[in-house]
């Protein structure tokens, strides 16, 4: 097992990573909690791990109210939030009662939003069960629900008190979810760590067959990188934006497919290649490096081509409306080399001209 600390003064917390950790959940619970908790999970995850986690919490002395929500992005809604607030009332949670998220990024974002807002904030515990949640969404404190007009628009920065990552749960994850999340794993190599990228190039088979030691190593490295970035820029005033490498185009691809056709990671894979090509066209990034990135993504395997539903005009409109755009300029994270990126602004006209020539 490895433990990584996210150092944020009074909001600091540990991330514990290793196989079988849910079985030892009581070892990782922070002190000072009230003995009532709200466990939020989705129906798929509940089937595999709901009973185990409920009984571990009960053994640790909690009275557990379990809220099982239907799986899927639609869950991050006002209606689901309302149901969870009702559950929190019904179960008489107080200010020290934890909300425990057991699931992927959807459950984590929703449960975290409840934790951030119920009674102006109650303790929050993350038990991420998808690779995406383990390497990305459970760390860093971004919590949100969707508004009918925009994804993740209603939210907060609200750090968990602990993150317990049991890498064994990845064995039940659908293979497509595993592949999609690998885009985020590869992203960390490009933005921050060339030797991690090299490691992925040499070990993709072992990663995809979920060898314990290899999976632990990659989850640890991704969490270390994310923790360091969040420590330096918790609320995304600047540096944290590097985590959006591949996301500008990726978000547009997700939206063009109505969030149904492409998984987040699948869209980010294409977005990283498009950002790489933009960097090559500006003379910032070498063709040979771009080829390495495409090859690594394809080895997962992940598609790197723009999808059939791609529409340059609509895509640029979506990118201008994105909450990360500012005063009409689109913010792009562009690679300079494997292991280093920079932030660049680009006008919608220039971006459109570039995309039409792809
Ligand atoms: N807060 C952040 O910083 C952040 C970062 C990235 C993404 N996100 C959000 O994360 C969400 C996507 O998260 P996700 O990719 O984890 O998807 P998800 O939560 O929808 O999970 C994917 C699917 O896998 C199932 N599942 C989860 N764990 C399982 C397991 N161990 N075994 C079997 N099935 C399992 C779920 O039931 C679901 O059907 C999006 O809403 C996105 O906005 C948030």
Residue 322 reports pLDDT greater than 80: no
16, 179, 251, 262: which is the annotated catalytic residue? 251
Do residues 224 and 245 share a domain?
Answer: yes
* Residues 356 and 280: beta-carbon distance below 8 Å: no
**pLDDT value of residue 206:** 98
Here the tokens at position 196 are 């991690």
Ligand 1 centroid to 106 CA: how many Å? 5
Residue 159 reports pLDDT greater than 70: yes
Number of domains in the chain: 2
**pLDDT value of residue 237:** 83
264, 266, 277, 289: which is the annotated catalytic residue? 264
Averaged pLDDT for residues 77-86? 97
**pLDDT value of residue 144:** 97
What burial letters (b/e) apply to 318-327, b meaning 16+ CB within 10 Å? bbeebeebee
Please confirm, yes or no, whether 120 is among the known catalytic residues.
Answer: yes
Task: Calculate what percentage of the chain has a pLDDT beyond 70.
Answer: 99
Do residues 114 and 250 share a domain?
Answer: no
The residue whose CA is least distant from atom 10 of ligand 1 is: 105
Do residues 99 and 210 share a domain?
Answer: no
Q: Considering the entire predicted model, what is its pTM?
A: 0.97
Question: What lines the ligand 1 site, CB under 6 Å?
Answer: 42, 44-45, 48, 71, 73, 76, 103-107, 109, 129-130, 132-133, 136-137, 140, 142, 152, 169, 172-173, 177, 264
| Omega within 30 of 0 (cis) for the link into 301 | yes
Do residues 258 and 199 share a domain?
Answer: yes
Residue 18 reports pLDDT greater than 80: yes
Do residues 12 and 49 share a domain?
Answer: yes
Q: pLDDT of 280-320, one tens digit each?
A: 999 999 999 999 999 999 999 999 999 999 999 999 999 98
**pLDDT value of residue 31:** 95
- By residue range, what is the domain housing residue 42? 2-169
Do residues 118 and 193 share a domain?
Answer: no
Ligand 1 centroid to 303 CA: how many Å? 20
Do residues 349 and 298 share a domain?
Answer: yes
Q: pLDDT of 189-216, one tens digit each?
A: 999 999 999 999 999 999 999 999 999 9
Q: pLDDT of 35-54, one tens digit each?
A: 999 999 999 999 999 999 99
**pLDDT value of residue 323:** 66
The residue whose CA is least distant from atom 3 of ligand 1 is: 137
Backbone angles phi, psi at 92, to 5 degrees: 55, 45
Residue 22 reports pLDDT greater than 90: yes
Residue 57 reports pLDDT greater than 80: yes
* Residues 170 and 215: beta-carbon distance below 8 Å: yes
**pLDDT value of residue 87:** 98
**pLDDT value of residue 228:** 97
Task: Calculate what percentage of the chain has a pLDDT beyond 90.
Answer: 92
Do residues 142 and 192 share a domain?
Answer: no
Q: What is the Cα–Cα distance from 192 to 326, expressed in whole angstroms?
A: 25
Do residues 165 and 180 share a domain?
Answer: no
Domain boundary among 151, 169, 187: 169
Averaged pLDDT for residues 119-129? 98
Do residues 258 and 158 share a domain?
Answer: no
* Residues 13 and 33: beta-carbon distance below 8 Å: no
Domain boundary among 134, 169, 204: 169
| Omega within 30 of 0 (cis) for the link into 341 | no
Please confirm, yes or no, whether 244 is among the known catalytic residues.
Answer: yes
CA distances from 136 to 16, 132, 164, 187 (A): 14, 6, 13, 11
Domain boundary among 107, 140, 169: 169
pLDDT band of residue 238 (cuts 50, 70, 90) is: confident
Please confirm, yes or no, whether 342 is among the known catalytic residues.
Answer: no
Do residues 296 and 197 share a domain?
Answer: yes
pLDDT band of residue 149 (cuts 50, 70, 90) is: confident
Domain of residue 349, CATH code: 1.20.1090.10
Do residues 345 and 273 share a domain?
Answer: yes
Please confirm, yes or no, whether 247 is among the known catalytic residues.
Answer: yes
Residue 325 reports pLDDT greater than 90: no
Averaged pLDDT for residues 104-125? 98
| C-alpha closest to that of 192 among 235, 230, 151, 150 | 230
**pLDDT value of residue 292:** 98
244, 254, 262, 266: which is the annotated catalytic residue? 244
Please confirm, yes or no, whether 147 is among the known catalytic residues.
Answer: no
Q: pLDDT of 216-236, one tens digit each?
A: 999 999 999 999 999 999 998
Q: pLDDT of 254-278, one tens digit each?
A: 999 998 999 999 999 999 999 999 9
């Amino acid at each position: 097992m490895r433990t990584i600390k996210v150092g944020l003064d009074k909001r600091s917390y540990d991330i514990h990573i290793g196989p079988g950790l849910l079985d030892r959940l009581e070892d990782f619970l922070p002190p000072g909690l009230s003995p009532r908790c709200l466990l939020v999970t989705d129906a798929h995850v509940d089937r595999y791990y709901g009973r185990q986690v409920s009984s571990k919490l009960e053994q640790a002395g909690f009275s557990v109210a379990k809220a099982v929500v239907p799986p899927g992005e639609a869950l991050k809604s006002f209606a689901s939030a309302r149901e969870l607030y009702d559950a929190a009332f019904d179960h008489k949670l107080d200010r020290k009662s934890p909300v425990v998220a057991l699931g992927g990024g959807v459950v984590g974002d929703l449960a975290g939003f409840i934790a951030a807002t119920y009674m102006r904030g109650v303790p929050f515990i993350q038990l991420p069960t998808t690779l995406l949640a383990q390497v990305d969404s459970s760390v860093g404190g971004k919590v949100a629900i969707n508004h009918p007009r925009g994804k993740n628009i209603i939210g907060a920065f609200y750090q968990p008190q602990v993150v317990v990552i049991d890498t064994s749960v990845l064995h039940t994850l659908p293979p497509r979810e595993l592949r999609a999340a690998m885009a985020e794993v590869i992203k960390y190599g490009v933005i921050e760590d060339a030797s991690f990228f090299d490691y992925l190039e040499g070990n993709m088979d072992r990663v995809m067959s979920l060898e314990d030691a290899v999976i632990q190593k990659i989850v640890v490295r991704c969490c270390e990188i994310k923790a360091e970035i969040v420590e330096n820029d918790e609320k995304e005033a600047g540096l944290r934006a590097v985590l959006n490498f591949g996301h500008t185009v990726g978000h547009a691809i997700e939206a063009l497919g109505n969030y149904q056709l492409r998984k987040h990671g699948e869209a980010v894979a294409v977005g990283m290649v498009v950002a790489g090509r933009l960097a090559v066209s500006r003379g910032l990034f070498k063709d040979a490096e771009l080829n390495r990135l495409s090859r690594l993504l394809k080895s997962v395997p992940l598609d790197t081509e723009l999808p059939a539903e791609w529409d340059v005009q609509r895509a640029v409109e979506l990118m201008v409306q994105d909450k990360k755009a500012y005063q009409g300029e689109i913010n792009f994270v562009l690679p300079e080399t494997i292991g280093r990126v920079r932030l660049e602004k680009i006008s919608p006209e220039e971006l459109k001209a570039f995309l039409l020539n792809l």
